Amino acid sequence: MRPSLSALARTLGLTAPAAPGNGLVEDGHGDGLGLPRLGPSAVRVNARSLELPAGLCASFVVTGYPREVGAGWLEPLLTYPGRLDVSLHIDPVPPLVAAQRLRRQLARLESTSRANAQQGRLADFAAEAAADDAAELAASLARGHGRLFRVGLYLTVHAPGAGVLEGEVQRVRALAASLLLDAQPTTFRALQGWTTTLPLARDTVGARRVFDTAALAASFPFTSPDLQPALGDTPVLYGLNAYSAGVLLWDRFAQDNYNSVTLARSGAGKSYFTKLETLRLLYQDVHVAVIDPEDEYQRLCDHVAGTHIALGAPGVCFNPFDLPQDKDDDTLIRRALFLQTLIAAMLAEPLTPVARAVLDRAILAAYRARSINSDPRTWARPAPVLSDLTTQLDALARTEAPDAGTAADLSARLVPFVTGSYRGLFAGPTTTRPAGHLVVFSLRDLPDEVRTVGMLLALDAIWRAVANPDDRRRRLVVVDEAWTLMRETEGARFLYRLAKSARKHWAGLAVVTQDAGDLLSSDLGRAVIANSATQILLRQAPQAIDQITDAFDLTDGEKTFLLSADRGQGLLCGTGAGSDRAAFTAIASPNEHRLVTTDPAELAMRTEHHKTTAAMNTEADQ
């Protein structure tokens, strides 16, 4: 059966020239109006197949379905190793029409059952099962728990030749039969079957079945049979299922809390995976702040036009006297209290009550010298710097007050941070404001002597953004190599506070560390894990696997998988309601890989390639 060319053109939405007499449907280079032509150059329509320039194809319509399905039940078809197009057409049924049809169907099934009973026939178990299903659907529809949809499932098999196509058809039909699906060929409708599986959103076959909401949701191609997560507005592709090759999506903001913990040995790909999730969350308008001890996020930050603050780098200043943008009545007081904590970290010892009182007077005097007081209208004026504080301390030291000696001592001990070796970070006003959709605080350039101080500044800026009541939005705080932060008292205190209260501020904490032993052996580490609804385990070292097994209640199979996992392979453990576990392999596009990789060999090769290209361009210009 060969349809006319005009019929094919109408089916594809095209305008075609007159059909040649050899039965081939041919396509020219335009429609006479200068518009480009879409579709293949030629199509031969047979009874059960189509001949295309690149090979043959045969289409099938699914007419029979199993009574019950589970999540991801279409996955074997979606992951078929050959070329198989799967098309799912969905039309919602209006609730009023659905209720009327269900009522008629129930009446028909009940009538059949009573007629069989009156005439002494054996019970029709299939009809009874259908009646039960219809009654359940009617009850769900009446309560508003679900809806009905008309769904059509179509398959198109491609092959380079007729002999190969026959074998592929048999394998696909056998696979469908194993799923209790009855796939029938679109005999004498091969053209309509093929166009139905094209991405045109047109069902030209019209073979539909009624699905309820649960069955349709189970047909969604991005569900995993191993994991039953709650998906909200920010699902992120984590990778492919390590065993079934299905796609694994996860939404941390749809879980009980938004925190996560990622544990892995060095080189297992934990930072690579974390940067991938960070990049994909940025697509969802999630604001991300990163504590980056090794400056691994700079390329990613520069590519997405984020804010990169290299604390300790030459010319980078971060003024701790800057007042936050929120306009609470106690903002100035809270800033003065934080400055006392910061000065104590600079001096590497707790402040005595007398020193704290002297410092409090000097801080407020430094603000008054810049005409800043408790009036919020004055907070937009330039804030004082650390040298202004030592000026006020020196002024107190020249008085005859009993605490003048304490003021002089404080001023003398702050000299290295004002005019000495550590002045770089505090020498002037802030050079880069921590604002934007991605803020990265790099700690690599901070000397060990001021690392605690710089880290405290970064954590304070992050907490002010998270806790700002006037700017509520989804946020994620990433702490990479968290073991470096947990060694510091203030850093450990920050992690504990954020893990406990981040959810109240619509924020999540992502803790990434390779030192699983320290995390699991401390009260802070156990608190972070207990408050993390998302737990990700990548390849583990044999020395730590027993502790990991006990902490996360791993099975022998999961333990073996984590010991032998390749780079980027891991185990996602969800602790929310209805969640389970799934092994996955993280995947990245070539562009994403270029942004997130930190492989030294690859980066060196890329740098050498750039140098070679630049040298060749220079020679060509000369």
pLDDT digits (tens, 9 = 90+) for 192-237: 999 999 988 899 998 998 888 778 888 876 666 566 656 678 888 8
Contact 503, 253 (CB under 8 A): no
Contact 287, 476 (CB under 8 A): yes
Domain boundary (431, 461, 485) is at 431
d(CA 289, CA 28) in angstroms, rounded, equals 55
**Which pLDDT belongs to residue 34?**
45
Give the pairing type, strands 182-185 and 287-292. Answer: unpaired
Q: Which one is predicted more confidently, 418 or 2?
A: 418
Q: Which tens digits make up the pLDDT trace of 443-493?
A: 888 888 888 888 888 888 898 888 888 888 999 999 988 877 777 777 777
Do 83 and 5 share a structural domain? no
* DSSP strands (E only) in 265-397: 287-292, 307-310
Do 206 and 177 share a structural domain? yes
Q: What average pLDDT score do residues 128-153 get?
A: 74
Q: What average pLDDT score do residues 539-559 get?
A: 88
b/e 158-171 (16+ beta carbons within 10 angstroms → b):
bbeeeeebeebbee
Q: Which tens digits make up the pLDDT trace of 492-529?
A: 777 888 888 888 999 999 999 887 776 777 777 788 88
182 - beta bridge partners? 64
Contact 53, 40 (CB under 8 A): yes
Do 538 and 423 share a structural domain? no
Do 64 and 36 share a structural domain? no
Q: What average pLDDT score do residues 343-367 get?
A: 90
Contact 488, 520 (CB under 8 A): no
Helical ranges in 565-599 per DSSP H? 590-596
Residue 470 burial (10 A CB sphere; 0-12, 13-18, 19+): exposed
The two structure tokens encoding residue 581: 């576990």
**Residue 619, in any domain of the structure:** no
Q: How confident is the model at residue 170 (pLDDT cuts 50, 70, 90)?
A: very high
User: Domain range holding 1?
Assistant: 1-45
Q: What average pLDDT score do residues 43-61 get?
A: 92
Q: Which tens digits make up the pLDDT trace of 54-111?
A: 899 999 999 999 878 877 788 888 888 889 999 999 998 887 776 777 777 777 777 7
**Which pLDDT belongs to residue 103?**
72
Domain boundary (386, 412, 431) is at 431
**Residue 600, in any domain of the structure:** no
Portion of the chain with pLDDT greater than 70, in percent? 86
Q: What average pLDDT score do residues 370-374 get?
A: 89
The two structure tokens encoding residue 574: 């969800």
d(CA 534, CA 256) in angstroms, rounded, equals 9
Q: How confident is the model at residue 172 (pLDDT cuts 50, 70, 90)?
A: very high
DSSP 520-562: HHSHHHHHHHHT-SEEEEE---HHHHHHHHHHHT--HHHHHHH
**Which pLDDT belongs to residue 260?**
92
**Residue 197, in any domain of the structure:** yes
Do 369 and 262 share a structural domain? no
Q: Is 257 left (phi over 0), alpha (psi -120 to 50) or beta?
A: beta
What own/partner pairs with CB < 8 Å and gap ≥ 24 does 523-529 have?
Answer: 524/486, 524/492, 524/495, 524/496, 525/486, 527/496, 527/499, 527/500, 528/259, 528/261, 528/495, 528/496, 528/499, 529/261
Q: Which one is predicted more confidently, 406 or 581?
A: 406
Q: How confident is the model at residue 578 (pLDDT cuts 50, 70, 90)?
A: very low
**Residue 609, in any domain of the structure:** no
Domain boundary (384, 403, 431) is at 431
Nearest to 485 by CA among 499, 471, 506: 499
**Which pLDDT belongs to residue 213?**
79
The two structure tokens encoding residue 571: 């185990």
d(CA 443, CA 459) in angstroms, rounded, equals 12
Contact 251, 236 (CB under 8 A): yes
**Residue 606, in any domain of the structure:** no
**Residue 610, in any domain of the structure:** no
Q: Is 40 left (phi over 0), alpha (psi -120 to 50) or beta?
A: beta
To which H or E segment does residue 240 belong? strand 236-241
Q: Which one is predicted more confidently, 138 or 565?
A: 565
* From 18-32, 100-114, 285-299, 452-466, the region with the lowest mean pLDDT: 18-32
- Helix axis angle for 386-397 and 404-413, nearest 10°, is 150
The two structure tokens encoding residue 43: 């199509």
Do 508 and 546 share a structural domain? yes
The 10 Å Cβ neighbour count of residue 584 is 26
Say yes or no to pLDDT of 252 above 80: yes
Do 177 and 78 share a structural domain? yes
Do 254 and 291 share a structural domain? yes
Q: How confident is the model at residue 341 (pLDDT cuts 50, 70, 90)?
A: confident
**Which pLDDT belongs to residue 232?**
74
Measured in whole angstroms, the distance separating CA 478 from the mean position of its chain's CA atoms is 13
d(CA 58, CA 190) in angstroms, rounded, equals 7
Do 133 and 150 share a structural domain? yes
**Which pLDDT belongs to residue 203?**
93
Q: What average pLDDT score do residues 342-362 get?
A: 89
Q: For the domain that residue 400 is a member of, what is the CATH number?
A: 1.10.8.730
Q: How confident is the model at residue 247 (pLDDT cuts 50, 70, 90)?
A: confident
**Residue 598, in any domain of the structure:** no
Do 512 and 496 share a structural domain? yes
Do 538 and 517 share a structural domain? yes
**Which pLDDT belongs to residue 510?**
92
Q: Which tens digits make up the pLDDT trace of 601-618?
A: 888 888 887 778 777 777
Do 542 and 455 share a structural domain? yes
**Which pLDDT belongs to residue 550?**
87
The answer to pTM > 0.75 is no
Q: How confident is the model at residue 173 (pLDDT cuts 50, 70, 90)?
A: very high
Residue 181 per-residue DSSP state: -
Q: Is 429 left (phi over 0), alpha (psi -120 to 50) or beta?
A: beta
Q: What average pLDDT score do residues 237-245 get?
A: 80
d(CA 347, CA 365) in angstroms, rounded, equals 21
Name 200's Cβ contacts closer than 8 Å, sequence gap at least 6.
12, 13
| Domain count of the fold of the chain | 4
**Residue 560, in any domain of the structure:** yes
Q: For the domain that residue 450 is a member of, what is the CATH number?
A: 3.40.50.300
Residue 538 burial (10 A CB sphere; 0-12, 13-18, 19+): buried
